[in-house]
Amino acid sequence: MLVEAAYGKSSVRLVLVARHGDRHDVRDLTVAIRFEGTYDESYTAGDNTGVLPTDTMKNTVYALAARDGLNDPESFGLSLARHFLDRNPPLLRVHIDLVDHFWGRLAVGSHEHGQAFARVGPDTRTARVSGTRDHIEIHAGVADLLIMKTGRSAFAGYPRDEFTTLPETRDRILATALTATWRYDGIDGDFDTLFRAVRGTLLDTFAEHDSRSVQHTLYEMGEAVLRNVGAVASIHLVMPNRHHLPVDLSPFGLENRNEIFVATTEPYGLIEATIAR
């Protein structure tokens, strides 16, 4: 009767300051932990014998960061996953989700400051480590990366029915809040470097593509990642279409030479796909 179940702790906020003399490094993560396993009795009978409290999960995040340090989110997630799988017999599958909030150094004059930072956003870096005692997979990603192109974006040639009013366009704004998640083909790697390579490829391709639709550009972005970054096995992209509508200025005796737009949030198109080798 209990078909599937999971429990865990979300929104664990960890800030780690590594102090190298006057130069500090900051890592700011939000961590979520999710357990799946032989926990049926806790649901059906209220038997907590094997149920590691989610409060202990939270404590473990802080304790492991303190004990072992913290390089990249992927490696930290891997340590957490292995720790939990090693210690908890009922645990069959664990998921560790991490959001990395990036703080850039402030520059004072021509020097980077060692101890002062500003958040760089609104996009975040993400990672997911998930698996069993036998097999673990690592996903990385970027979320809420707001990008816009004001040229080389069209949408035309689509079918029309009695409810179609959209005019075809050869030159529209294409704006999105990109969320991409990619799976690495192993659990080793220089994850910071890999992240920058994938993120750079996504942005370059978005900028350069002659877009016939969001779908068209999304696919090209994913394919370019697979082409450029050998460690990526597959990639999932989600691109909401944040419509920028040209304002009709004709009632005011003015012409809109494709310059004046209203940015809208509702409704929005939503396009997604997974591309794999």
Span 69-128, contacts to its own copies by CB under 8 A: 87, 103, 106, 108, 113-119, 121-122
Kindly write out the interface string for residues 2-41 of this chain, putting x where it contacts its own copies by CB under 8 A and - elsewhere: xxxxxxxxxxxxxxxxxx--x-x-x-x---x-x----x--
Give residues 123-182 in contact with its own copies (rule: CB under 8 A): 145-152, 155-166, 173
Contacts of 59 (CB under 8 A, 6+ apart): none
Residue among 9, 58, 95, 209 flagged as catalytic? 9
Q: Tokens 């014998």, residue? A: 49
* Distance of alpha carbon 59 from alpha carbon 240, whole angstroms: 36
Would you call 209 a catalytic residue per the annotation? Answer: no
**Among 121, 152, 138, CA closest to 76:** 138
**Among 104, 100, 128, CA closest to 114:** 104
* Distance of alpha carbon 214 from alpha carbon 235, whole angstroms: 16
Nearer to its own copies, 191 or 206 (CB): 206
Q: Which one among 138, 182, 213, 224 touches its own copies, defined by CB under 8 A?
A: 213
Helix/strand/coil (H/E/C) assignment for every residue in 57-80: HHHHHHHHHHHHCCCCHHHHHHHH
Would you call 9 a catalytic residue per the annotation? Answer: yes
Nearer to its own copies, 16 or 143 (CB): 16
The region of 45-53, 132-140, 179-187, 190-198 touching its own copies under the rule CB under 8 A is 45-53
Which residues are known to be catalytic? 9, 54, 243
